Copies of this chain bind each other. A is one copy, B any other.
Amino acid sequence: MITMRRLDASEARLIIEGARRQAQASGVPMCIAVTDDSGSLLAFERMDGGKIHSIAVAQDKAFTAASARRPTDELAALAQPGQPLFGINVAVSGRFCVVGGGLPVIVEGQVVGGIGVSSGTPAQDLECAAAGLAAFHGAQTAVA
A5 within 8 A of B: yes
Contact A47 B4 (CB under 8 A): no
Give Cα A12 to B48, complex, Å: 11
Give Cα A25 to B61, complex, Å: 32
Contact A76 B67 (CB under 8 A): no
The residues of B that contact A51 with a CB separation of less than 8 Å are 67-69
Contact B94 A91 (CB under 8 A): yes
Contact A45 B99 (CB under 8 A): no
A47-66 contacts to B, CB under 8 A, are 47-48, 51-57, 60, 63-64, 66
The residues of B that contact A40 with a CB separation of less than 8 Å are 38, 46, 52, 55
| A contacts with B: majority SS | mixed
Tell me the A residues contacting B by CB distance below 8 Å: 1-9, 11-13, 36, 38-48, 51-57, 60, 63-64, 66-69, 76, 79-82, 84-100, 107, 112, 121-123
26 contacts between A and B (CB under 8 A): A1-B5, A1-B8, A1-B112, A2-B5, A2-B7, A9-B47, A36-B38, A39-B53, A40-B46, A40-B52, A41-B44, A41-B46, A41-B55, A43-B44, A53-B63, A53-B68, A53-B95, A53-B96, A54-B67, A56-B92, A56-B93, A57-B88, A57-B92, A76-B86, A91-B94, A91-B97
